[in-house]
Amino acid sequence: MGMRFQAVIRAVAGVGIGLILAGCAEDIGVDQYGRKVAVERLEGQWLVINYWAQWCAPCRTEIPELNTLAAQLSEQSVQVLGVNFDALQGEKLNQAAQDMGIAFTVLAKDPAERYQLPRAEVLPVTYIVDDQGRMRERLLGEQTAAGLTVRLTELKAEG
């Protein structure tokens, strides 16, 4: 009976380690500076996810609005995240983000699958994801900090 008990303990421990490793697999990736973006940083937060490209003129005028929004809502459990539409990586992503004047986090890995976001067909497009990880809104075209703040307030009130 002692050997059987030890086998059960080993099996349970193996499952526990497997779950821990599976949790690590839920990787958000890195930001424009190559720094790891911790899953815990985004959990329980409302997310404003904006897709942009350097060749997109409305994106260029929208970025300062998103910078303002990120600064205004940083203490309110809201994260503004950018995603480069052209899937730039590494130094190219960093340079593009700098050229655009982006002050918020840009994800190198597209989070569309994680948050079940529909494919971006036009730019700019902004998605609002609630604190449970569900997409609540898809906003096409250029957004303002004021307009996004109002929409976030409305969505939070809806629950």
Mean pLDDT of 84-106: 97
Do the Cβ atoms of 50 and 82 come closer than 8 Å?
Answer: yes
Give the CATH H-level superfamily of domain 29-158. Answer: Glutaredoxin (3.40.30.10)
Do the Cβ atoms of 20 and 97 come closer than 8 Å?
Answer: no
Residue 60 CA neighbour count, 13 Å, CB half: 6
DSSP string, 17-79: HHHHHHHHH----BBTTS-B--HHHHTT-EEEEEEE-TT-HHHHHHHHHHHHHHHHHTTTTEE
Residues 6+ apart with CB under 8 A from 115: 47, 49, 127, 129, 133, 134, 135
Model confidence, pTM: 0.82
Sequence ranges of the domains in the chain:
29-158
pLDDT at 16: 40
The pLDDT of residue 71 is above 70 = yes
